[in-house]
Amino acid sequence: MLNNMLNVTTDNKKSITQNIPQRSLLSAETARASGVTAGQKASRRDRKKVALTFPADAKHMHEFAIGFGQGVCAFSMKKNAEPVTVAVVKKHYDVFAAAALGIVKARQLVMAPANLATPIRLRDEIEHLANGASEFKSRVHKLTDENFTFTIGRSSENTPKLMTVVYRGNPDSDKVDVGLALKGCTFDSGGINMKPSASVGKMKKDMGASAVGIGLLQWLQIAKPKVNVLLGFSFAENAVSSTAMRTGDIYPFKDASVEITNTDAEGRLLLADAMLAMSKHGGTPKNLIAVGTLTALGKSAFGARYIPSWKQDAQVDCAMEKAGRDSGDAIWSMPLHDGFYEAIKSSRVADYVNSTSGCGAASGVAAVFLHEMAKQCYGEDVQNFTMLDISSSAMGGDGVRNYAGDAVHPQDASGKSLNLLIHRILQEAK
C-alpha cells in the first residue's frame, strides 16, 4: 500500500484555520478552482494540519473537495514528505472526504512509478477498499492463455490480474445501473511494436483509467450512493521479451477470434477482457462505459480540455454530456462510424483485427472494436455503450490543466475524468 498524502478528520486540535468565504462557493466552477488553491496552499505550509471552515449554508462542497484533492501533493517518495491533514466539521465530513480522498487516490496511483504500481499492488489497493464496506464484493478471475490480459502480461515478471468489483448501493434491485470497464496497463513499452523513446517516459501512467476506477471505489465507500455499479479491472504490463505477444498472433474471444496487428493497441484488448469478466456476473448493465488511455490522437484533435467520447446512441450522449458540464470534465461526443466496423473485420484469417492502418482514426477504431467485443460478451442487444479515451486528461503535462486553470507538471496527474464518472453515476442513483 502506498502512503496516504491526505488525511481527513473532524478533529481540529492543533490545526491552522483556513476560512473559505462564501464567494469561493458561488458556483461549481468557482468552488473547484477555489479548492485547488486551498489544496496547494495547504501543501506548502510547514504545519500540514489545516482546519477548513465554511459558511453555514455552504454549497458546492463536493466540487470544492474535488478541487482540493487536485491541489494537494498526491505522491512523493522524498524522506521529508508529509501528508496534509484536513479537519472539517462533521456536517461536511462525508461529502468532503469522499471526493477529496477519491481524487487524491487516483492521482497518487497515476504518479507512482511502475515498480510500485504493479498489477499485484493495484489488486491489493482494490481489495483493501472493497473490504472496508459491506456494499462491496470483489473477485479475482482466473487467467488462462486465452485471456488477452494473460497474453499481454506474460511478457513481464509482474503477474497480470483480472478483477471485478460489485458495489451494491441499491439492494432493492438486482440490476447493474452502471458498468465500468477500466484499462490498467501498468507500463506500456508498446511490446513488439515498440514505442519511440520520446513517448515511453510517460507510459507508467497508462493505467490512468484503473487509477480513476480505484479513486471511484474510494468515493463510493464513503459517499454510498443508492446505485449499483460493476467495475472491471484488467492489469498487465506490456513489455518486450521472448514471451511477448506478437503481430500475427490469433486469440479466441468468446465465439470469435482476434488477429493481433499491433501489439501497441493493447488497451482495447485489456478492456475487452474486463468486459468479459464483468459479463460473468450475469445481466447486462443499463449503461456500459469503457474507459482507457487509448490513443494520443484524441489530444491532437481536442486538446487536453476535452475527453473524446464515442457513443452508441443520442440518449447516452445527452447523459454523458450533462455529466461533463456539471463535473467540469468536458467531453466531445462522436458516433460509432459504420465504416470502422468494416475496417476491424478486414482480417483474412480471423473475425477481427485489433488495429487498422488504412483508415487512421485510431480512437474511433478502438471504440467500434470495443463495441463489437461488448456484443460478444452481452449479445447483440447491448445498449447504452460509451467509450472514453482519457489519455490527454489522465497523464498530465503538455497543456493539461487543473480546475483552477493552472498547468499540470509533466510528472503530475490531474485526476480529471473521476468527477465526470461520479456525476454520471449520480444520474442513475435512486
pLDDT tens figures, 282-309: 889 999 999 999 987 666 677 778 899 9
- Give the Cα separation of 280 and 177 in Å (integer): 16
* pLDDT computed for residue 225 by the predictor: 98
HSE of 398, CA atoms in CB hemisphere, 13 A: 13
* pLDDT computed for residue 283 by the predictor: 87
The residue to which cell 472494436 is assigned: 369
The residue to which cell 487509477 is assigned: 211
- pLDDT tens sequence across 205-260: 999 999 999 999 999 999 999 999 999 999 999 999 999 999 999 999 999 999 99
- Give the Cα separation of 218 and 329 in Å (integer): 19
Give the Cβ contact number of residue 10 at 10 Å: 13
Q: Which of 41, 59, 195, 286 is catalytic?
A: 195
* pLDDT computed for residue 361 by the predictor: 64
**Is residue 358 over pLDDT 70?**
no
- pLDDT tens sequence across 325-356: 999 999 999 888 888 899 999 999 999 999 99
- Give the Cα separation of 109 and 116 in Å (integer): 9
Q: What percent of the chain has pLDDT over 90?
A: 77
Angle among Cα 43, 49, 52 to the nearest 5 degrees reads 90
Q: What percent of the chain has pLDDT over 70?
A: 97
Partners of residue 335 on adjacent β-strands: 311
- Give the Cα separation of 307 and 53 in Å (integer): 34
Partners of residue 256 on adjacent β-strands: 253
* pLDDT computed for residue 152 by the predictor: 98
DSSP string, 161-229: EEEEEEEES-TT--S-SEEEEEEEEEEE--TTSPPPHHHHTTGGGGGHHHHHHHHHHHHHHHH--S-EE
201 Cβ contact list (under 8 Å, min separation 6): none
* pLDDT computed for residue 331 by the predictor: 93
> What are the backbone dihedrals phi and psi of residue 213, each rounded to the nearest 5 degrees, phi first?
-65, -40
- Please report which residue ranges of 114-176 form alpha helices under DSSP H: 119-130, 148-153
Detail the DSSP E strand segments found in 280-404. 287-292, 307-311, 331-335, 352-353, 385-389
- pLDDT tens sequence across 52-110: 999 988 999 999 999 999 999 999 999 888 999 999 999 999 999 999 999 999 999 99
Angle among Cα 145, 147, 151 to the nearest 5 degrees reads 60
* pLDDT computed for residue 91 by the predictor: 95
Q: Which of 121, 268, 416, 424 is catalytic?
A: 268
- Range in 8-17, 64-73, 234-243, 379-388 with the lowest mean pLDDT: 379-388
Q: Crossing angle, helix 90-111 and helix 61-71, to 10 degrees?
A: 40
- Please report which residue ranges of 328-378 form alpha helices under DSSP H: 338-343, 362-378
Q: What is the CA radius of gyration of the chain?
A: 21
**Is residue 416 over pLDDT 90?**
no
Query: Which pLDDT band holds residue 134 (cuts at 50, 70, 90)?
Result: very high
N-terminal to C-terminal alpha carbon distance within the chain = 34
* pLDDT computed for residue 156 by the predictor: 97
- Give the Cα separation of 308 and 313 in Å (integer): 15
- Please report which residue ranges of 203-292 form alpha helices under DSSP H: 208-223, 267-279
* pLDDT computed for residue 405 by the predictor: 85
Q: What is the mean pLDDT of the chain?
A: 92
Residue 195 bears catalytic tag:
yes
Bridge-based pairing of strands 287-292 and 331-335 is unpaired
- Give the Cα separation of 402 and 382 in Å (integer): 35
Per-residue DSSP letter, 197: H
The residue to which cell 493493447 is assigned: 266
- Give the Cα separation of 53 and 417 in Å (integer): 28
Angle among Cα 97, 102, 105 to the nearest 5 degrees reads 120
Q: Is 399 helix (H, G, I), strand (E, B) or coil?
A: coil
- Type and span of the H or E element at 110: helix 90-111
- Give the Cα separation of 385 and 236 in Å (integer): 24
Bridge-based pairing of strands 287-292 and 178-188 is parallel
Give the Cβ contact number of residue 284 at 10 Å: 19
- Give the Cα separation of 60 and 68 in Å (integer): 12
